[in-house]
Amino acid sequence: MSEGQGSTGNVLAAICSFFIPGLGQLVQGRLISAVLWFVVACAAFVITWLITLSLLPFGWFIVSVLSCINAAVYRRNG
């Protein structure tokens, strides 16, 4: 589906990953990467919630931005 950085597939994957970390990687067919990004986002949310005791999910937001970038620059080998 994805041809490389900047392709339509990668842009769609990046948008998906911004809202739910790992969803873009799942769209690209990278199951293990998708699960890892989602687990890291959940852990970041819990850690930042425990530290701040507020529902501001800035840990989740930071991981979703990184996941978005990872999906956007993905280049399929082969």
Residue 24 in any domain: the answer is: yes
Q: Is the pLDDT of residue 12 over 60?
A: yes
17 pLDDT band, cuts 50/70/90, is: very high
Residues 6+ apart with CB under 8 A from 3: 9, 76
C-alpha to C-alpha distance for 43 and 48, rounded to whole angstroms: 9
Residue 68 in any domain: the answer is: yes
Residue 12 in any domain: the answer is: yes
Number of domains in the chain: 1
Please indicate whether residue 43 or residue 56 has the higher confidence score (pLDDT).
43
pTM above 0.75, yes or no: yes
Residue 49 in any domain: the answer is: yes
Q: Which domain holds residue 24?
A: 8-73
Residue 30 in any domain: the answer is: yes
